[in-house]
Amino acid sequence: MLRYAICLIVFGVVLAKYELYEGHAVYRISVKTEKQALILHNLEVANSLDFWQRAAPGNEAIVLVPKQQRPLVEATLLFHGLKYSIEVEDVKPYLDAEHEKLSKSDVKSRSSPASGSLTFDKIHTLEEVDAYLQALTVRFPTLVTLVTAGQSFENRPIRYLKISTTNFQDTNKPVVFIQSLLHAREWVTLPASLYAIQKLVTDITDADLVNQIDWIILPVANPDGYVASHGEERFWRKNRATGYMPLDICSGVDLNRNFDYNWGRWSSDFVCTEVFHGRSAFSEPETQAVKTVFDQYGNRTQLFIDLHSYGSMILYGYGSEELPSNALTLHLAGVNMAQAIDAVKVAHNREYRVGNSAMIMYKSSGTTNDYAQSIGIPLSYTFELPASRIGFHVLGFLVDPEFIEQAGIETWEGIKTGARFVLRN
């Protein structure tokens, strides 16, 4: 009887966890012209909608619409002649299913982060990631160093791992910098960065990459947002900064619009949107922390990769459509990385696309990738990892346990191909 009661309580907690999203639907909207894109932009700002794929001519928009706003959104789309389809009537059952699957995989997991042993059969919490990184410094003191770059808005440490056989003292060695979880809800990017750490520290299969390159890996760039996304707000994207409007009715800054390159140009000055750029460039402690890494090692960094999801893309700057002077080299290296990933990808996932972010997706500003390129890092990219759910690419932020290790395996193929490109050129 007690066991039955406990099961009911646990099941009830699962059902209650995502009540916030009950009745939220996912819409796919066809966008043909700049005027239609502007209509959707105005709709986004007026109603604080969450666009998962932004509106641009020839680029379908995908948007999460709260239950109470659906009549208004549909009426607006019909009034302006915008064609749409409802891809998911209610996201909550899918959130519940993800939570149930990940909870089961968590129970079965053989991972032991505190002892420096990590398995890719679960999504690790912030506390587990911190414990793992600290354990590695104990196990491999001559190879790894854990550095605190700064504190988040809610005073959590933002830590990165330095991996070097020469303790970063050989300034002739190039640096490769990998970052993940700048956007909190993009969970699948975490196993990709942790897998790279494993292949460089505990399970070395490419010794040349360890010996000839110094590595910086920042697994959780947005710790506050990541913690929030493990609570009731699974689709939380931004940081957790408050004080931007009375009573904090809306909060948070899109950290990938807060860097100092074209800041504020193709983003939003309204805090209730998902692309709110903050008060000024580097107004947020999280972006300031990342900037300290660039300030210290940017002159040696030859390859920067910011891991995001979703979409199976390798993107380079600039978000304005302006191309860097080395665009051909950027494209060539990007194609090489994409081909390496495609060679081991899951069969049902589409092949990676490579190109300028504004040309493939939409214009953007204040991004980490653009900032890195602007300060002289020659190979600066955003990776958009694939959705893992067959037939539900519109729910691409959700993670299947079966895809966790695969995300690490295939992304590592791209990373190491990019690293070897650096060594050859």
Active site residues: 384
Distances (CA, A) of 336 to 2, 331, 332, 333: 57, 9, 6, 5
Cis peptide bond upstream of 21, omega within 30 = no
Report residue 1 as tokens: 């009887």
Distances (CA, A) of 327 to 230, 315, 335: 38, 11, 12
Residue with token string 């504004």: 358
The DSSP string of 85-130 is EEEES-SHHHHHHHHHHHHHHHHH---BGGGTB--SSSPPPHHHHH
168 DSSP 8-state letter: T
Please name which of 235, 186, 279 lies closest in space to residue 20, comparing C-alpha atoms.
Answer: 235
Triad 419, 204, 214: Cα angle to 5°:
40
Give bridge partners of residue 268 from the DSSP assignment: 276
State the Cα–Cα distance between residues 318 and 235, nearest whole angstrom: 27
Residue with token string 């149930």: 100
By CB atoms closer than 10 A (0-12, 13-18, 19+), residue 165 is middle
Report residue 326 as tokens: 């080395």
Report residue 359 as tokens: 């040309």
Maximum distance among all alpha carbons in the chain? Answer: 70
CA dihedral 325, 326, 330, 336 (to 10 degrees): 150
Please name which of 217, 392, 388, 228 lies closest in space to residue 309, comparing C-alpha atoms.
Answer: 388
State the Cα–Cα distance between residues 138 and 142, nearest whole angstrom: 9
Report residue 390 as tokens: 């067959």
Please name which of 40, 24, 33 lies closest in space to residue 79, comparing C-alpha atoms.
Answer: 40
Sign of CA dihedral 189, 190, 196, 199: negative
